[in-house]
Structure 1
Amino acid sequence: MIYAGVDVAKADHVIGAVDERGSELCKPMGFKNGAAGFERCEAWLEGVAEEPGDVLVGMEATGHYWMALYAFLVSRGYAVAVIDPVQVRAVRRLRGLDRVKNDRIDAGLIAETLRIGQYDPTRLATDEVQSLRTLTRYQQSLKSELAEVKTQCTCLLDSYFPEFSGAFSDMFGAAGRAVLSKSPLPSQVARRRVDSLQRDISEAARGSRRVDGKAAELKALARASVGIRLGEGAAAMQVQSLVRQMDFLDGECGKVERRVRELLELVEPLVLTIPGVSYTTGAQIVAEIGDIGRFRNAPALVSYAGLSSSVNQSGKFDSGGGPITKHGSPYLRRALWLAANRARQYDPSLGAFYERKRAEGKCHRVAVTAVARKLCHIVFAVMRDGVPYDPARPGRDPSKHSVSGSQGAGSDRSGNEKS
């Protein structure tokens, strides 16, 4: 077998190859990230191996630049494995190349990592799963952007209208935004007529009785405000701009969320039967896992999520398990942790497991992480078996949430690989 490594970048890639003994077969070659470059890469591979089946190509999972080349090589019959950059760094240290880095050396290191690691070819997600992954990640970025905009607006209001935050239960809810969009500063609120201000607030709150008299209360706060007055015009313009951004981002989040729900119902709706898993976290979990068949068993999924405990053991010393590795998908890890924090409140056995960890002296964060590992096993079983979650299902220990035959698809109940 020949192992070829590709160091990918935005504009240019470099490919190198080693044989089964780790000897470099020929000089690494650079090529462009485009159709002509890909054809040149294929010609180079034909020069080092007679058939595509004689080569395993590897590339790092860095950014998105690998995907086009990956799709091209797979279409040409080559097996391609996407490698965790952490493992390439480990081989770099092993070879004493910590302070030596260039594209040609990196291509050789990726090939060597592939040779040592015995990787299986990677499979791209289906169209629906890839769409779900793209949209869930985009949804998360939209929410982060929305939170940043709200933080900026809060900082401004803390200086110019600090009393505003106490006027509404949610200062950036519909009623709060209705006020800020027209009169964001105390001097502007104080000049408005009570009936006009109240009408805006009531319409935004859809006639809720809870906002009755809110206009008079707000005007009183504005007249007594201790906010600064310097640069009011610029501050008012910025607050109004930020409110418009909030409205836009809310609208985009709503559109994305509706499409995400549709895709989740199409791809894997059964994850919603797991306590604590919402449409948002469920979609993120399914999108990042993709084909559950690529995981040998539930512990492999735990490892991919980066929720496995690190090990520090030497001789008679054993730390008893260190912090989680945080390898793998950070999106999956975050979604599982958020789902686990809710699951402990709604699933009695997971709640009991959480309380046991707390009684052992574990802090909230560590205890929820332990629940997230349990949740990984549940998700694996639901997606593998294609059945709704049922803690009372025969063969399942409700206290541990393990599933009989949890070695995964492709194994019999004794754990032996099927032929």
Structure 2
Amino acid sequence: MNSTRNDTTNQRIERITTFHAIVGIDIAKDIHAAQITDFRGRTLMPRHCSFRNSEEGFEKLLHWIQEAGAKHGKTSFLVGMEPTGHYWFNLANWLLAQNIEVVLVNPVTTHRNKENRDNSPSKNDPKDALVIADVVSRGYYTDYVPQSPVFDRMKTVMSDREYWSKQSRSLRNRIVRWIDLYFPEFSSVFSEWDGARSLATLKAFPIPADLRERNAEDVISGWRSHGVQRAAGSTGRAKAVALLSAASRSIGKSNTNEEARRDILRLLHFYEETQRVLEEIQQEVESLLEQVPAAQQIRSISGLGTVTMACLFSCAGDLRNYAHGRQLLRRAGLNLAERMSGKHKGQIKLSKRGDSMLRKYLYLGMLNLVRQNADFRQWHAYNQRKGMSKMKSIFKLIGKLARILIGMVQRGETYRSATSQDLVA
């Protein structure tokens, strides 16, 4: 389809003929609801169809659709549904296997059109299904095209990574809280709590009371017992002496020492397990990237990290399906939105109607490019010389990156460093 939105909507409307029956499905965890209409929005069956999220339920839906089609002379079916959580995947894939077209409707569109038929804000599953069918008939939908297995696998792995990253951040915050509460002087000795000596200290001598009546040799011995290489030496001995001094004057909470000791050991155990899982996921990501067709082209952009690339492919899918960088920006919700009425002209903002994970990693990836890639660093500096704020420059460069990525993939090229003329273009 053409990239112009009006043309695209018109083509979607023209695709629906008088021989089409449009099925709207309200997705739920256990029991879905379906309504069926013709291309003009007239309901074809007197009652909606409720069916379970199982093969028997899917068969019931198919029989109901075919019965309505036979009764009203409809030979083609277009099924629309909201991509609600993960509950719609199995149904959508099952319908595609039955050679029935499946399209997706934005939940925001459904919410804003729910009063069209009855001028009422009331909400129920059959009504929502009917609203979805109406929205589809007006061309406000996107086609559901399953990705190649490698992109689905990448999406699964990146979803897992997000979960474990969140767990890691939570545990890190809990450990920092524990240190502030029970051993606040710890940070004056170790600038980072997750260094080798720091972790060994928290395991061997969790609370200041464990360090009292100890000497530097005892501390070094405790570090060695927890796998610290080169625990002694001038630096190690100085750290041990500083640690003992800090413990002797600690103001940390001391009336729950046994509970505090068990707490930090549990936190450290789960933190290290989480780090191990993240390392395994990183290896899986790198292995999957080797199987993505355009990955080597994207790797030619110096400074674009592995995680950013993986998120790009997992959230956006095959970049060869995009005709222009604007489509990628819209997928991430990074397209611009403006509110105007009469003489009033509102502020232009990001729409944020898209994949939040893709939006997040495009932003983080651009911060990394500005630091490490000479071209993007010079573009960023040029934007600021023109009076643009740092944040606006970052988002402008994300748009440039999107166009570069799609252009590279469409033409099968690798990234070539910009010339000085390009830098001011």
Measured against the shorter chain, the TM-score band is 0.7 to 0.9
Conservation of the 8 A alpha-carbon contact between 1:53 and 1:79: no
Say which SS state the counterpart of residue 192 (structure 2) adopts: coil
Partner of 1:20: 39
1:207 and 2:207 matched: no
1:156-305 equivalent positions in 2, closer than 5 A? 156-201=178-223, 204-207=227-230, 210-267=235-292, 268-305=295-332
Say which SS state the counterpart of residue 288 (structure 1) adopts: helix
- Offset at residue 265 of structure 1 (A): 1.9
Say which SS state the counterpart of residue 213 (structure 1) adopts: helix
Partner of 1:43: 63
- Offset at residue 363 of structure 1 (A): 4.3
Structure 2 unaligned spans of 5+? 1-19
Q: Which amino acid in structure 2 is aligned with residue 264 of structure 1?
A: L
Conservation of the 8 A alpha-carbon contact between 1:186 and 1:222: yes
Partner of 1:101: 123
Conservation of the 8 A alpha-carbon contact between 1:125 and 1:290: yes
Mean Cα displacement is larger for which, 60-69 or 48-57? 48-57
Mean Cα displacement is larger for which, 249-258 or 113-122? 113-122
- Offset at residue 149 of structure 1 (A): 0.7
Partner of 2:10: none
1:354 and 2:380 matched: yes
1:314 and 2:338 matched: no
1:10 and 2:29 matched: yes
Mean Cα displacement is larger for which, 73-82 or 273-282? 273-282
Q: Which amino acid in structure 2 is aligned with residue 206 of structure 1?
A: Q
Deviations along 1:199-237, one digit per CA (max 9) or x if unpaired, are 443664533765443222111111111112121211111
1:47-196 equivalent positions in 2, closer than 5 A? 47-49=67-69, 54-92=76-114, 99-117=121-139, 119-196=141-218
TM-score normalized by the length of structure 1: 0.87
Partner of 1:376: 402
Mean Cα displacement is larger for which, 201-210 or 66-75? 201-210
Say which SS state the counterpart of residue 274 (structure 2) adopts: helix
Conservation of the 8 A alpha-carbon contact between 2:21 and 2:38: yes
Q: Which amino acid in structure 2 is aligned with residue 79 of structure 1?
A: E
- Offset at residue 19 of structure 1 (A): 1.4
Structure 1 unaligned spans of 5+? 401-419
Say which SS state the counterpart of residue 277 (structure 1) adopts: coil
Q: Distance in 2 between matches of 1:116 and 1:61?
A: 18
Conservation of the 8 A alpha-carbon contact between 1:309 and 1:323: yes
Deviations along 1:295-340, one digit per CA (max 9) or x if unpaired, are 3422111111100111112334434x52101111111111101111
Q: Which amino acid in structure 2 is aligned with residue 34 of structure 1?
A: S
Deviations along 1:167-193, one digit per CA (max 9) or x if unpaired, are 223112232111112221100122444
Partner of 2:3: none
Say which SS state the counterpart of residue 280 (structure 1) adopts: helix
Give the count of matched residue pairs. 397
Q: Distance in 2 between matches of 1:284 and 1:127?
A: 15
Q: Distance in 2 between matches of 1:52 and 1:337?
A: 47
Q: Distance in 1 between matches of 2:366 and 2:382?
A: 15
Mean Cα displacement is larger for which, 265-274 or 300-309? 265-274
Q: Which amino acid in structure 2 is aligned with residue 224 of structure 1?
A: R
Q: Distance in 1 between matches of 2:405 and 2:117?
A: 39
Deviations along 1:37-90, one digit per CA (max 9) or x if unpaired, are 011111111123359971111111121110000110000001111222122223
Q: Distance in 2 between matches of 1:399 and 1:378?
A: 16
- Offset at residue 10 of structure 1 (A): 1.1
TM-score normalized by the length of structure 2: 0.86
Partner of 1:367: 393
Partner of 2:9: none
Q: Which amino acid in structure 2 is aligned with residue 126 of structure 1?
A: S
Q: Distance in 2 between matches of 1:180 and 1:333?
A: 37
Deviations along 1:91-148, one digit per CA (max 9) or x if unpaired, are 2255576731111111111111211125453111221111111111211221111111
Q: Distance in 1 between matches of 2:379 and 2:116?
A: 40
Q: Which amino acid in structure 1 is aligned with residue 208 of structure 2?
A: P
